[in-house]
Structure 1
C-alpha cells in the first residue's frame, strides 16, 4: 500500500515536468494563447488593409459571430486547417458587440481553444462595407475570403469539413 502511494505521489510530482516534453513548441503555443488577450475593435476603414496582401502566402479572413450556429460549427475546421498549415494567415473577424468582448467573446475563444487572430468589426454602416468587400455578398455569415497577392475567392457559406476548405483553397491559389 505504501509503495502504491509513493508511486502515485511520484507520478503527480513528475507530471508537470513531462508537460515540457509533450508540448511541441511552448513559445508558439503561449504566444497563440495570449494573442486574444486583447481583441482590437476596428471600423471598416481600419480593417480594410487586412483584407489584402502583397505576399504569395495564403490568407483566410472569416467573418463570424458567436450567435451564428454555422459560424461556431465551422470554427474547428479553420482551427484544424491552421494547425496543419502554420504558414497560412487566418484572421477571424467577429461581428459580435464590442461591450461583450471581456464578458463573452474572450471566454468563448478560450473555451473553444481558438488561437487564430481575432478582431472585432464595429461599423454600423454594414450596407456600405459589405458591398466594398464583395458586391455579391448578401451580408449573411459565415463569410470567408481566401486570397494571396494574385488570387481571391469569396465564400458565403460554412465549410463542411477540412477537405471542403482545402479544395476551395486549392481552387483559389492555383499555383500553390
Structure 2
C-alpha cells in the first residue's frame, strides 16, 4: 500500500510539472513581442519588461531608435514629431516608441492622442511596476527621467536622457553613435 501511494504522489507531481511547463510555454508565446505600427493595427500591445527587453538589442547592423515616453511628459510630446520625421526620412531605421502611460488609458487617451498628433511609429506600452529593476537593466546611469532614447545596432549604442530639440539634433546623435 505504501508503494502505491508513493507511485500515485509521484505521478501527480510529474503531471503537475508537465502541465506547469506547458502553461509557462503558452504564457511565453502569448507575451512574445510582436511590434506593429499603430497604422497597421488598432491594438496597442502591453508588455512587461521581460517582454520588452529583447527589443532593446539586435544582431543586425540596422539602426534602431527606442524612445521611452509618456503623454504627460511635455518634452516627450514635443520630440515625438521629431522622431517620426527622422523615421520618415530614413526608412532603413526602425523606431519603437515605448509608452509609460497607464494601460487603462489606451482606448480613452493614448489612441486618441496618437491619432491627433498623427504618430504612426510603432508604439507599445510598458506596464511593469518594478521600474527600479528594469531601469538599471537598460542603463545603470539612467535616472529614470523621460524622455529617454536608445540609438543602437549590433556594434554601437548610445543613451540619451533628454529630449531632442530638432531634427538636426537627432541626426547628429545618430551619426555620433555610429562614428
TM bin (shorter chain): 0.7 to 0.9
Of residues 43, 47, 63, the one that matches 2:48 is: 43
Give unpaired runs (5+ residues) of structure 2: 1-35
Runs (4+) off by over 2 Å: 31-36
Q: Deviations over 1:33-75 (max 9, x none)?
A: 6335111100000000000011111000000000000000001
Structure showing greater radius of gyration is 2
CA separation of 1:107 and 1:37: change in aligned 2, threshold 3 A: same
Equivalent runs, 1:31-110 vs 2, <5 Å: 34-110=39-115
Relative to the length of structure 2, the TM-score reads: 0.78
Give unpaired runs (5+ residues) of structure 1: 1-30
Number of aligned residue pairs: 144
Distance in 2 between residues matched to 1:133 and 1:68, nearest whole Å:
20
Other structure's SS at 2:39 match:
helix
Relative to the length of structure 1, the TM-score reads: 0.80
Q: Which residue of structure 2 lines up, in the alignment, with residue 117 of structure 1?
A: 122
CA separation of 1:36 and 1:154: change in aligned 2, threshold 3 A: farther
Distance in 2 between residues matched to 1:153 and 1:33, nearest whole Å:
26
